[in-house]
Amino acid sequence: MSEAHLQSIHLTDNPRRELFRQARLQLEGACGLPTLLGVVPPPGAEAAIDSVTRTLPPMTPGGPCQFMLKDGETLYPLTVGVNTVGRLPDNNVSIRDEHVSRRHCAVVVHTNGQCEVHDIASKNGTLLNGKKIAGPTRLRLGDQLTLCTRKLTFVAESTDPAKAAV
């Protein structure tokens, strides 16, 4: 993955840098090629999708939706692929809070509609619904991520005009 914001140049001490690199490799391994490229595979191309992406049933059956993280009244849209969350301004979700790590966690949105959260070697860890995550953890609508004192809610909005009109 050549995502510049997932390089560990912001880490100055070697132990943290190595933890970050291990987390990045685990994150890359969880993404199938279509997820990393942000494309929906053509019919019959399921074999090219990573087993994590392939084996989980779609979370939102019946249509496309836009996933978001909600911080109070602020909504942060998530895109297919890796969405980094942290206090640095180049994160996909930039949280202005001195307690949140520079690169705290990442939310992976797969092309099949599945989403999961990965802690990226943050100093204080990432909590999902009050429990510290130990590895990649699947997200469900309404789940609450806690990054130190910040609470983000995982939400979705339908992008199907027929469903939005109802």
Q: What is the dihedral of CA 3, 128, 50, 85, to 10 degrees?
A: -10
Nearest by Cα to 137 from 101, 104, 106: 106
Model pTM?
0.66
pLDDT in tens, 117-144: 999 878 889 999 999 998 889 999 999 9
pLDDT in tens, 43-102: 444 443 333 333 333 444 334 578 999 999 999 999 888 899 999 999 999 999 999 998
Q: How confident is the model at residue 29 (pLDDT cuts 50, 70, 90)?
A: low
Count the neighbouring beta carbons within 10 Å of the beta carbon of residue 96.
9
Q: What span, in angstroms and rounded, lies between the C-alpha atoms of 24 and 82?
A: 11
DSSP tag of 65: E
Task: State mean pLDDT over 29-38.
Answer: 57
